[in-house]
């Protein structure tokens, strides 16, 4: 886990723990095992959400999109510059584009795109790192935050779906 930002790795882990907690709540209600949260650099949680793809019957109801929407509403504006988004999984292209449109330039995530693919969740074949540097301004990615915990959410969910555990 590496980051050029002043945010310490222990703070990223703390943020991810709160996101994982909400993700577990979403899984318990039948959702896919993804969660995201928006935070200030000094550690204040602005918004947190889990996927609602199943509940809403909406393929765009990803946790990152929902967390961004909640944060923008709470802050009364669409510009989320200076904030962090923390996601249990490496953001898909749709979510990364929304992150960029919101002005967020720092992303921390747990499970990699490879793990997401291995758990049979699609990534459209494009990793966040392939897209992040192409955006203007570029988005800084910090991967591997509580990677084991986040990956376990995905793998355990698929095992449950397949009747393996």
Domain parsing of the chain, residue ranges: 1-157
Predicted local confidence at residue 35, as pLDDT: 99
Task: Look at residue 1 and tell me whether its pLDDT is greater than 70.
Answer: no
* CATH architecture of the domain formed by 1-157: 3-Layer(aba) Sandwich (3.40)
Question: For residues 138 and 112, what is the distance between their CA atoms, to the nearest angstrom?
Answer: 19
Structure token digits, residue 140: 């800084």
pLDDT category at 161 given cuts 50, 70, 90 is low
Instruction: Give pLDDT, residue 133.
Output: 80
Chain center to CA of 8: 18
* Dist. CA 53–CA 64, nearest whole Å: 12
Local structure of 54: helix, strand or coil: helix
Whether the pLDDT of residue 110 is over 60: the answer is yes
24-52: average pLDDT: 97
64 is known as an active-site residue: yes
Q: Map tokens 């993700």 to a residue.
A: 23
Q: Give the Cβ contact number of residue 61 at 10 Å.
A: 19
Catalytic residue among 64, 90, 117, 140: 64
């Amino acid at each position: 886990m590496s980051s050029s930002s002043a945010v310490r790795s222990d703070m990223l882990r703390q943020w991810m723990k709160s996101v994982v907690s909400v993700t577990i709540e979403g899984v318990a209600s039948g959702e896919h095992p993804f969660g995201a949260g928006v935070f200030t650099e000094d550690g204040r949680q602005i918004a947190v959400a889990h996927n609602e793809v199943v509940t809403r019957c909406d393929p765009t109801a990803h946790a990152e999109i929902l967390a961004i929407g909640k944060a923008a509403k709470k802050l009364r504006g669409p510009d989320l510059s200076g904030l962090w988004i923390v996601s249990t999984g490496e953001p898909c292209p749709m979510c990364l584009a929304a992150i960029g449109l919101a002005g967020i330039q720092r992303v921390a995530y747990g499970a990699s795109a490879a793990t997401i693919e291995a758990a049979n969740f699609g990534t459209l074949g494009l990793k966040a790192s392939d897209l992040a540097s192409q955006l203007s301004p570029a988005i800084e990615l910090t991967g591997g935050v509580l990677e084991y915990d986040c990956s376990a959410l995905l793998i355990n969910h698929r095992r449950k779906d397949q009747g393996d555990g």
